[in-house]
Amino acid sequence: MAVAPQQKAAPRRRLMQSKGAVLLVVLIAIWIGLPFVPEETGLQFGWVYRVFFTVMALLAGLFFWFLGRERIRTPERPASVIVSVAAVYLVTVGLLVAVGVVYPQFPVPKTEKAPAQPAQASERGRELFSNPTVGCFRCHAIAGQGGIRGPDLTQVASRAGGRVSGLTARDYLFEKLRAGSAYDFKVPKYAPIMPPYQALVSEDQLEDLVAYLATLTGTPTDEVEDGEVGD
């Protein structure tokens, strides 16, 4: 018994409606939900990210619409399938990287140009702190600039000397930077995620970072009560 075209189209129409509803929910989550992600997570979803996610959602909807068609031409060669999958992967990852470069989630602090004379250790340390390759600023803030995953370092030199008995502030800072989260002392309320900087920078660069952090003195306040270096 032949099936009427209208009866064939009805299931597909219902399927497309359900997919459309899912797509609408995803778009609502992108444009209404993402702005409410807590700042404590360290994630910032600006309009560039939301536009990117919207485009990806629309492309996904188009992909599922294509799969719902009655006839899909079977690839003649397996190599064409592999090339297509690799192309989609590379384009997607490329777009993610491009968005991250154009609109980074963590603002890169601007450093002043070094003076003409040879830079002092503390000046070199300040530049290292703001260097994206070293990445200190991604987790630690100084004077309100930087990340929030790690302790605030605005006045770290004023309290670092009291963290470990027998160690001066400079000694503590050096050992904490060198060992990272493997160091015995952990700052309360923060996850132990600090990498061992002895594997990332040279000994001289560690000394420069300590020299810079040692200049961050002041009277401790409630806002930076736990503002030590480390995890």
Q: State how far the Cα of 31 lies from the Cα of 126, in Å rounded to an integer.
A: 37
Cβ(175)–Cβ(210) below 8 Å = no
In this prediction, residue 116 carries a pLDDT of 46
Write b or e for each residue in 126-138: b if 16 or more Cβ atoms lie within 10 A of its Cβ, otherwise e: bbbbbbeebbbbb
In this prediction, residue 86 carries a pLDDT of 78
Query: Is 6 or 177 the better-scoring residue by pLDDT?
Result: 177
Using the predicted structure, report yes or no on whether residue 1 has a pLDDT greater than 50: no
Segment 162-169 mean pLDDT: 85
In this prediction, residue 53 carries a pLDDT of 79
Measured CA to CA in angstroms, residue 162 lies from 36, 170, 189 at distances of: 38, 11, 18
In this prediction, residue 9 carries a pLDDT of 54
Structure confidence by residue, pLDDT tens digits, 8-30: 555 556 655 666 777 788 888 87
In this prediction, residue 84 carries a pLDDT of 74
User: What tokens were used for 137?
Assistant: 């600023």
- Between strands 141-142 and 145-146, the pairing is antiparallel
At the second CATH level, the architecture of 121-224 is Orthogonal Bundle (1.10)
Q: CA 92, 94, 100, 103 torsion: positive or negative?
A: negative
In this prediction, residue 13 carries a pLDDT of 60
In this prediction, residue 224 carries a pLDDT of 42
- What is the CB neighbour count within 10 angstroms for residue 156? 27
Query: Is 64 or 132 the better-scoring residue by pLDDT?
Result: 132
Query: Is 138 or 104 the better-scoring residue by pLDDT?
Result: 138
- What is the CB neighbour count within 10 angstroms for residue 16? 14
Residue 73 pLDDT grade (very low, low, confident, very high; cuts 50, 70, 90)? low
Q: Calculate the average pLDDT of the chain.
A: 75
DSSP structural state of residue 37: S
Domain ranges of the chain: 9-102, 121-224
For residue 206, which of 146, 128, 150 has the smallest C-alpha distance?
128
